[in-house]
Amino acid sequence: MSITKDITIEELVETIPASVKYLMNEGIKCIACGEPIWGTLDEAAKEKGFNDGDIVRFVGELNELANAPSDAPENVQRINVDKLKTND
């Protein structure tokens, strides 16, 4: 699956559950606070004050996350989104 800025938040989190933590770490926190987010990744990011360059980066990193084997946490670190790792 290819992630674009036009993916809905609902589809994104259903397809890539780890995207919730990624987006929270980037400052799009309403996903976890109980306030529903409707619309696209682009709309949610712009609502939080992110620019087009930030959104391009989000799309790239989310695509890498989507393509990382789920049983290989070292791949998450390799794609420079180590913010996704838990502190357990």
- Give domain status of residue 52, yes or no: yes
**What digits encode the pLDDT tens for the residues 53-72?**
999 999 999 999 998 876 54
Number of domains observed in the structure of the chain: 1
Q: Is the pLDDT of residue 45 over 50?
A: yes
Count other Cβ atoms within 10 Å, centred on residue 87. 3
- Give domain status of residue 3, yes or no: no
Q: Which residues contact 44 (CB under 8 A, 6 or more apart)?
A: 9, 23, 28, 37
Q: Which domain holds residue 69?
A: 9-84
Q: How much is the pTM?
A: 0.71
C-alpha distance across the termini of the chain, in Å: 30
- Give domain status of residue 39, yes or no: yes
Burial of 1 by CB count in 10 Å (0-12 exposed, 13-18 middle, 19+ buried)? exposed
